[in-house]
Amino acid sequence: MGPLPRSLELFYDVLSPYSWLSFEVLCRYQNIWNIKLQLRPSLIAGIMKDSGELSSTGSLYWHRQDIKLLRQHFQIPIQFPKDFISVILEKGSMSAMRFLTALSLEHPEMLEKVSRELWMRVWSRDEDITEPQSILAAAEKAGMTIEQAQGILEKISTPKVRNQLKETTEAACRYGAFGLPITVAHVDGQTHMLFGSDRMELLAYLLGEKWMGPVPPAMNARL
């Protein structure tokens, strides 16, 4: 019998492109590193409500250049939405993250696939993630039946789901989040919070595992 898996929590919002990078890397490594990955849908607006960083032109230029390189390096089809300000600052992700929260409560086995499809919509194909039909389309593409998806959608405004999303977001803040993603590693009775998508080599060190880049060889064999 092998060692028990160590536990990692990934707090993320599909509005965050850097969350997508961490998500894919951890999904790729979860079996290689023998980790138990807990996906924790959170609301980035609740964490960054006082930050105006994303609205600055210089910051936007930097992020655009960054994303081009990260697309190649991580082998993830990520690209900027045309109307970035509208998508990020005006439309937001409340409905999408409530949907993922309800999904985590009702059908946790579908959480990875539906999260990925929502990122694909907003951060690859520049499609909407705020309208009910958009969310249903992502859920169906991920493999849910229309009945399942509709059932989840009907629960996104319930107190249970709203409170759960609020609690998860507050939990991220308690860990020290000032943005997303954060990865919280529970190793040998200790808790470590790592911010951003560029701490994976440090995470490997914490776990006593080998870092083989964002696309490990085992993944290359499947591509």
Whether 100 maps to a domain, the answer reads yes
pLDDT digits (tens, 9 = 90+) for 120-130: 999 999 999 99
Chain length of the chain: 223
Q: How many H helices and E strands in the chain?
A: 11, 4
Whether 92 maps to a domain, the answer reads yes
Say whether pLDDT at 52 is over 50.
Answer: no
Inter-axis angle of helices 94-106 and 159-174, to 10 degrees?
100
With beta carbons less than 8 A apart as the criterion, state whether 120 and 114 touch: no
pLDDT at residue 24, as a whole number: 98
Q: How many domains does the chain have?
A: 1
**Residues spanned by the domain of 189:** 6-220
pLDDT at residue 18, as a whole number: 95
How is residue 150 written in tokens? 């509709």
Say whether pLDDT at 216 is over 80.
Answer: yes
Q: Which of 146, 101, 141, 143 has its CA nearest to residue 121?
A: 141
Q: Which of 110, 150, 109 has its CA nearest to residue 133?
A: 150
% of residues, the chain, pLDDT over 90? 80
H/E element, 151: helix 146-153
CATH number of the domain that residue 40 is part of = 3.40.30.10
Whether 155 maps to a domain, the answer reads yes
- Measured between alpha carbons, how far is 42 from 137 in angstroms, rounded to an integer? 21
The phi, psi pair for 100, rounded to 5°, reads -65, -35
Task: Give the strand order in the sheet containing 182-187.
Answer: 35-41, 6-12, 182-187, 190-195
- Measured between alpha carbons, how far is 131 from 92 in angstroms, rounded to an integer? 11
pTM listed for this prediction: 0.92
Whether 1 maps to a domain, the answer reads no
Whether 109 maps to a domain, the answer reads yes
The one catalytic residue in 16, 42, 115, 124 is 16
pLDDT digits (tens, 9 = 90+) for 176-211: 999 999 999 999 899 999 999 999 999 999 999 999
pLDDT digits (tens, 9 = 90+) for 16-38: 999 999 999 999 999 999 899 99
The phi, psi pair for 172, rounded to 5°, reads -60, -40
- Catalytic site includes residue 16: yes
